[in-house]
Chain A
Amino acid sequence: MLWHALTLQLGYNATLVTLGAMLLGVAAGVTGTFLFLRKRALVSDAISHATLPGVGIAFIIMVVLGGDGRSLIGLMLGSAASAWIGLLCIGFLTRRTRLAEDAAIGAVLSVFFGIGIVFLTYIQTMSEGRQAGLEGFLLGSTAGMLYSDAVIIAVGGAAVLLAVIAFRRPLSAIAFDPEFAASSGLNVPRLDLIMMGLVMAITVVGLKIVGLILIVALLIIPPVTARFWSERVTGVLWVAGVVGGVAGYVGAALSAIAPALPTGPVIVLVLFAMFALSLLFAPARGVLAAVLKHLSFQKRVHVRQGLLALAQGQPIYEKLTLRLLQRSGLARADGVPTPDGKARAAKALRDERRWQMARSREEFALAATFYDGLTEIEGVLTSDQISELDRLIGAPQGVPV
């Protein structure tokens, strides 16, 4: 069953929805990256909650006009209109009053959602509304989806993806460095508006599949995940697109195989699994990589300090140091250096003395800034400079015979 779902053999509707969810996921991942880099990730949460009154009003209008009110395209238009009004409210509150953007986001989110709920409960009391299934827009549902709805979602997902691809260059310019983008002639406010328009389009297309409460995850989690894998804008965009696409595809396919697996939550949990794996195992930025880096640094410090202690004939009390020296064959278990250890220890002490001399002389001032107790002096100074240092230090003094 799972294999059938993943290979798109569950019927025409399920296939269309799965492909639509994948396209939507890619588009959301890429658009979300722009939002994330602009540090405005949570605006999308307000936009998605603000769609609910529009869904309700559109339903009521369609019923009043004599339709059955369930036309997906009509509901999508309504949700887009009310999301746009919500966006304008956030803009008004942040620009014209002294409220910060997070307060404006929270206010718009909760008030619009509340108004939407008022409409939904009103619709439930209308005779036409009992079977409307508008609650499906809260958490998304693909069960019992009409063929025409599946087509709208697939086409909508593809259209949003094309729009994102068309605007990728100017959008990455403003996401990365808005001042530079403005000085090179880009209209930053208008591009911001386009970005918000794309976010809105994704929300509206995703309403039916993912639901309005969780659609924000499709915009936030892919870029956050991608950030672990790349330090470059293009890299983050690609990874975010792939992560979003995979989650949309796998999530929609998984939820098609059982009735108690709502699409939205499944897609979000697939996304979160990818995020958690990246957080733990990504090279360079992941937790595991950080732990390994820390351990290797700790080891180098211990070995270095151990060698200096050996060279000066001091006993080593730190167990970890002793163990590390022993494992590298530099000392025995009782702390007595091996011949190899003796040579390395002498070298370490000599290098330390060289660094000391270098740091006290003006002509080595630049090189001396590299001193951190671990950097090898040969990596910083030429052999000529090192012999110059040795000459300044002079012959060994006060060696007991």
Chain B
Amino acid sequence: MMGEEFVALSLTPILIGTLAAIACALPGNFLLLRRQALIGDAISHVVLPGIVVAFLITGVVSAVPMMLGAAGAAVVAVVMIEAIRRLGKIEPGAAMGVTFTAMFAGGVLLLEQSDTSTVHLDVEHALFGNLESLIWLDATGWASLWDMEALAYLPVELPRLGAVLFVVILFTWIYWRPLKISTFDEGFAQSVGIRTGALGFALVIVAALAAVAAFDAVGSIIVIAMFICPPAAARLMTNSLSVQVAWSVLFATLSAVLGYVFAGYGRLWFGAENSVSAAGMIAAVSGLILALTAVFGPHRARSGAPAEG
């Protein structure tokens, strides 16, 4: 299990899953504290029409136009939610519900109407991703990690997610103080000269970037789960933001690795005939972690409030 086969078949999916999970969990921490946790849900739904439109325009399934299309759709969705909220004086939750269901429905319909039977593009793929297929066929063993020729054939998703994760970390690191201040006390943040509106928008854009990159590799379930579950579980472990972020990274990594292992090797342990969806299993493991922290987490109750019943 730890030999050549592991490097070729399991190492890259696990790494990609982990990078995607961390890239989503980092902005998820701030979205959770700002009561915007469902933004991730909305973004991952609206990405579908963006990808379909990009495919219809270019006629090929290729990464760059699809990423652009997805990012464009995410921006359209954010603008549309704001417009509905302001113009119609509708509460944000409902405005979000209207936007993402309509855009997702549009995406599905476009997909069904266009001739995509020749290419690998369907709704199921968008939802579950296809983590298991991101294998590294040129690897012959651990030594391949130092073999430039084999490295050139790494799944392209791996370096791309690495770059996106780098951007996300950079954003979090550079804007750590303003993000922290504006998340906990927006009024104070404004009074010390932080442009909270622009910062909030930038946070949503970074979240969208992480969502789109992760979506491309692993499907939208992981995106939604990783935006919310690891940060929520981490929130129940500590009162300090930096410690919370550290916990969330650990939980995201754990979910990705354990989820992939359970899905892939579960058939050997539980006697199933075939492996099950890794994306689904990763989401399930993150839910298990959240459930454990909700029952045993040291800071699970609201501070100051007596435990209920």
Contact B276 A118 (CB under 8 A): yes
Let me know if A264 is at the binding interface, CB within 8 A: yes
Check B127–A138 contact: CB distance below 8 A.
Answer: yes
A111 with B229: in contact, given A262-B108, A268-B101 (CB under 8 Å)? yes
CB-based contact B98/A114 at 8 Å? no
Q: Is the interface of B mostly helix, strand, loop or mixed?
A: helix
The docked-state distance in angstroms from the alpha carbon of A117 to that of B275 is 12
Q: Which residues of A contact B300 (CB under 8 A)?
A: 96-98
Q: Which residues of chain A come closer than 8 Å to B94, judged between CB atoms? A: 36, 41-42, 220, 223-224
Pair A224/B228 contact, Cβ less than 8 Å? no
Q: Which residues of B contact A41 (CB under 8 A)?
A: 91, 93-94, 97
A261 & B109 in contact (Cβ 8 Å cutoff): yes
> In the bound complex, how far is the Cα of B235 from the Cα of A93, in angstroms?
12
> Does A161 belong to the interface (CB within 8 Å)?
no
Residues of A within 8 A of B290 (CB): 107, 111
Q: Is A228's CB within 8 Å of the partner chain B?
A: yes
Residue of A nearest to B44 (CB): A110
Whether the Cβ atoms of B287 and A107 lie closer than 8 Å is yes
CA–CA, A268 to B301, complex, Å?
A: 39
Interface residues of B in 71-88 (CB under 8 A from A): 84, 87-88
Q: For the complex, give the distance between the alpha carbons of A41 and B275 in Å.
A: 36
Contact (Cβ within 8 A) B97 A99: no
Q: Which one of A42, A98, A122, A269 contacts B303 once the chains associate, using CB atoms below 8 Å?
A: A98
B225 touches A111 (CB 8 A): yes
Least Cβ–Cβ distance between B92 and chain A, in angstroms = 10
B window 253-289: CB within 8 A of A: 263, 272-277, 279-284, 286-287
Among A198-206, A210-218, A315-323, the stretch in contact with B:
A210-218
Q: Give the residues in chain A near B272, CB-CB below 8 Å.
A: 122, 125
Q: Does A380 contact B (CB under 8 A)?
A: no
A interface, how many residues as a size bin? 35 or more
Point out the residues of chain A lying under 8 angstroms from B41, CB to CB: 45, 106, 109-110
Q: Pick the contact of B105 from A121, A135, A217 — CB < 8 Å?
A: A217
Given the known inter-chain contacts A98-B236, A224-B98, please indicate yes or no for A279 contacting B88, CB distance below 8 A.
Answer: yes
Interfacial chain B residues near A262, Cβ < 8 Å: 108-109, 112
Q: Chain B interface residue count: which class?
A: 35 or more
A109 proximity list for chain B (CB < 8 A): 41, 224
Interface: A61 (CB within 8 A)? no
Q: How far, in Å, is A191 (CB) from chain B's closest CB?
A: 20
Report A-chain residues with C-beta under 8 Å of the C-beta of B40: 106
Is residue A84 within 8 Å, beta carbon to beta carbon, of the partner chain? no
Bound-state CA distance A363–B65 (Å) is 72
Which parts of A70-127 form the interface with B (CB within 8 Å)? 92-93, 95-100, 102-103, 105-107, 109-118, 120-122, 125-126
Query: Is A188 on the interface with B (CB-CB < 8 A)?
Result: no
**A249 in contact (CB, < 8 A):** no
A264 and B105: CB pair below 8 A? yes
**Contact with B232, one of A92, A99, A116, A261 (Cβ below 8 angstroms):** A99
Contacts of B89 in A (CB 8 A): 285
| Contact yes or no, B236 A111, CB < 8 A | no
Indicate if the CB atoms of A107 and B273 lie closer than 8 Å. no
Chain A residues closer than 8 Å to B263, beta-carbon distance: 118
B21: chain A residues at CB < 8 Å are: none
* A268-B128 Cα distance, complex, nearest whole Å: 22
In contact, A121 and B280 (Cβ under 8 angstroms): yes
List 25 A-B residue pairs with CB atoms under 8 Å apart, sorted by A's residue number: A39-B91, A42-B96, A97-B294, A109-B224, A110-B228, A111-B286, A113-B224, A113-B283, A114-B282, A114-B284, A117-B127, A117-B283, A120-B280, A121-B276, A125-B272, A125-B276, A135-B124, A213-B104, A214-B101, A216-B101, A220-B94, A221-B97, A224-B84, A224-B94, A224-B97
